[in-house]
């Protein structure tokens, strides 16, 4: 099978090393010996080939659809659905009227009757069933679930993007320096990586959570600090990837050429080496976006992030720790869980699809 494929792979003109892909069928239906190359072969840029391979996989398309709809839901949703704010308590149908009759005799001897009407707002409209007013019902505090779902999603998605971005930048810088210079610099950076990789991730974040509390940082910002700290300790994975690639790349001939051209070190690292690591980095980033969403949600679930007032997916699921909520109000804790699954699954599908599409050895 494989040999057949290799035989059919025809390289285009002598000097061009452009990737080629065979047109499935000959238009004429018969093969001609001479100029068949021109007709059988279509030139494709590497980018197009990657796109083509990416979209050929059904799973990547499913992942893309899932993520796009989730993004629209979280970022466009609040624009369309303005009935409730995410932290607006619904007091609407819990108004009580208490009427008392007061009778007294005035100085003329007549009996006067007063009616005193007391309007009391007794309780928020908690645990409302899904209805037109609240499509996903309300939770224990009378907050609208749908509005909270969108608000929480916005924060989750934004945070995971920022975190992954910082991790990648730090990883590129440290990994690039370690891989390019080698020797003592490499040794120091790699030992630092070893130390950071042995830090117990979750418990350390719990400590940092307590630390933030002790410093009196407002609860709605804590999750940003926490994820910032997480990115400060999780770059070694990326750094190792970048370093490993650069170690092999720097021995290649085009780097000798770059050396001969007298380029500066910065230019050699960031313009000639890093772009060649990009494919793996992109896959890595996509996959870690999913895990960052999980991290963020777990932290909120444990109550390290914002207080309940500020919506987050993890906090919403946390309410299911109450057995009453767990048993009877799936509409409170179910949707955020499903949203998390959609987000993580979407990133994983796309990451997997990208990995296959960017793999130069891939045959399909």
Partner 1 sequence: MIKYILKRLGLTVLILLGVSLIIYVLIRLMPVDFIEKKIAEMNQGGATIDQATIDNMKAMYGLTDDTFLGVLKGYWSWLTKLVQFDFGTSFKYGIPVIDVIKDSMGISFAVALLATIFEFMIAIPLGITAATHQYSIRDYVVTVLVMIGISLPSFFFGQVLKDLFAMKLGWFPNSGLTDATKDLTGFAKLMDYAWHMFVPVLTVVILSIGGRMRMTRTEMLEVMNSDYIRTARAKGLSERKVIYKHAFRNTLIPLVTSLAGLLPSLFSGAIITEQIFDLPGIGNLAFQAMDAGDIPFIMGYNMFLALLSVMGVLLADLMYAVVDPRVKLTD
Shortest CB 364 distance to partner 1, Å: 8
Shortest CB 120 distance to partner 1, Å: 35
Instruction: Tell me how far apart the alpha carbons of residues 20 and 270 are, in angstroms, rounded to a whole number.
Output: 28
**Residue 61 gets which letter from DSSP?**
H
Question: Smallest Cα–Cα separation from 53: which of 278, 279, 204, 273?
Answer: 279
Shortest CB 218 distance to partner 1, Å: 16
Shortest CB 82 distance to partner 1, Å: 28
x-or-dash string of contact with partner 1, 299-338, rule CB under 8 A:
--xx-----------x--xx-xx-x--xx--x--x--xx-
Q: Please identify, using beta-carbon distances, which residue of 221 and 254 lies nearer to partner 1.
A: 221
x-or-dash string of contact with partner 1, 130-169, rule CB under 8 A:
----------------------------------------
Segment interacting with partner 1 (CB under 8 A) among 93-101, 166-174, 266-274, 294-302: 294-302
Looking at 182-303, list the stretches that DSSP marks H as alpha helix, in order from N- to C-terminal side: 183-198, 201-214, 219-233, 236-249, 253-260, 265-267, 274-301
In the chain, where do the E strands start and end?
20-22, 41-43, 95-105, 111-121
Instruction: Tell me how far apart the alpha carbons of residues 42 and 128 are, in angstroms, rounded to a whole number.
Output: 61
Instruction: Tell me how far apart the alpha carbons of residues 218 and 227 are, in angstroms, rounded to a whole number.
Output: 15
Which one of 239, 340, 350, 354 is in contact with partner 1 (CB under 8 A)?
340
Q: Please identify, using beta-carbon distances, which residue of 76 and 197 lies nearer to partner 1.
A: 197
Q: Return the C-alpha torsion angle 335, 338, 340, 344, nearest 10.
A: -160
Instruction: Tell me how far apart the alpha carbons of residues 90 and 88 are, in angstroms, rounded to a whole number.
Output: 6
Q: Please identify, using beta-carbon distances, which residue of 63 and 124 lies nearer to partner 1.
A: 63
Q: Please identify, using beta-carbon distances, which residue of 18 and 192 lies nearer to partner 1.
A: 192
Residues 166-225 that bind partner 1 (CB under 8 A): 191-192, 194-195, 197-200, 202-204, 206-208, 210-211, 213-215
350 lies in the binding site for partner 1 (CB under 8 A): no
Shortest CB 187 distance to partner 1, Å: 11
Shortest CB 303 distance to partner 1, Å: 8
Which one of 332, 344, 350, 358 is in contact with partner 1 (CB under 8 A)?
344
Question: Smallest Cα–Cα separation from 346: which of 163, 160, 77?
Answer: 160
Q: Report residue 6 as tokens.
A: 């290799």
Which one of 297, 308, 332, 357 is in contact with partner 1 (CB under 8 A)?
297
Please give the C-alpha separations between residue 256 and each of 157, 176, 263, in angstroms, as whole numbers: 42, 17, 11
Query: How many residues at the interface with partner 1, by CB under 8 A?
Result: 46
Question: Smallest Cα–Cα separation from 179: which of 282, 278, 248?
Answer: 248
CB 335 within 8 A of CB 145: yes
Shortest CB 143 distance to partner 1, Å: 19
Q: Please identify, using beta-carbon distances, which residue of 255 and 289 lies nearer to partner 1.
A: 289
Residue 139: other Cβ atoms inside 10 A: 24
The three-state secondary structure class of 11 is coil
352 lies in the binding site for partner 1 (CB under 8 A): yes
Please give the C-alpha separations between residue 292 and each of 60, 125, 162, 268, 303, in angstroms, as whole numbers: 20, 34, 10, 31, 17
Shortest CB 172 distance to partner 1, Å: 23
Instruction: Tell me how far apart the alpha carbons of residues 358 and 47 are, in angstroms, rounded to a whole number.
Output: 9
Shortest CB 333 distance to partner 1, Å: 7
Residues 58-117 that bind partner 1 (CB under 8 A): 59
Binding site for partner 1 (CB under 8 A): 59, 191-192, 194-195, 197-200, 202-204, 206-208, 210-211, 213-215, 290, 294, 297-298, 301-302, 314, 317-318, 320-321, 323, 326-327, 330, 333, 336-337, 340-341, 344-345, 348-349, 352, 364
């Amino acid at each position: 099978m494989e040999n057949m494929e290799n035989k059919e792979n025809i390289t285009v003109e002598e000097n061009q090393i452009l990737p080629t892909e065979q047109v499935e069928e000959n238009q004429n239906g018969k093969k001609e010996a001479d100029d068949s190359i021109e007709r059988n072969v279509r030139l494709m840029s590497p980018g197009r080939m990657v796109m083509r391979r990416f979209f050929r996989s059904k799973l990547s398309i499913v992942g893309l659809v899932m993520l796009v709809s989730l993004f629209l839901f979280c970022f466009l949703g609040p624009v369309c659905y303005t009935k409730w704010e995410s932290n607006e308590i619904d007091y609407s149908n819990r108004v009580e009227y208490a009427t008392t009759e007061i009778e007294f005799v005035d100085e003329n001897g007549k009996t006067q009757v007063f009616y005193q009407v007391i309007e009391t707002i007794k309780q928020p409209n908690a645990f409302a069933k899904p209805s037109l007013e609240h499509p996903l019902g309300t939770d224990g505090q009378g907050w609208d679930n749908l509005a909270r779902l969108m608000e929480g999603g916005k924060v989750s998605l934004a945070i995971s993007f920022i975190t992954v971005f910082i991790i990648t930048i730090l990883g590129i810088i440290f990994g690039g320096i370690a891989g390019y210079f080698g020797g003592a610099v490499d040794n120091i950076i790699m030992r630092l990586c070893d130390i950071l990789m042995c830090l117990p991730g979750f418990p350390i974040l719990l400590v940092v959570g307590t630390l933030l509390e002790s410093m009196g940082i407002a609860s709605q910002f804590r999750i940003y600090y926490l994820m910032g700290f997480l990115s400060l300790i999780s770059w070694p994975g990326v750094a190792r990837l970048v370093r490993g690639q650069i170690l092999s790349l720097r021995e290649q001939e085009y780097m000798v050429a770059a050396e001969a051209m007298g380029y500066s070190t910065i230019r050699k690292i960031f313009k000639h080496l890093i772009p060649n690591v990009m494919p793996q980095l992109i896959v890595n980033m996509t996959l870690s976006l999913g895990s960052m969403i999980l991290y963020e949600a777990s932290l909120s679930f444990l109550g390290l992030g914002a207080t309940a007032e500020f919506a987050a997916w993890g906090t919403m699921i946390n309410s299911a720790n109450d057995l009453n909520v767990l048993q009877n109000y799936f509409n409170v804790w179910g949707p955020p869980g499903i949203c998390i699954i959609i987000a993580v699954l979407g990133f994983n599908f796309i990451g997997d699809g990208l990995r296959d599409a960017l793999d130069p050895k891939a045959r399909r």
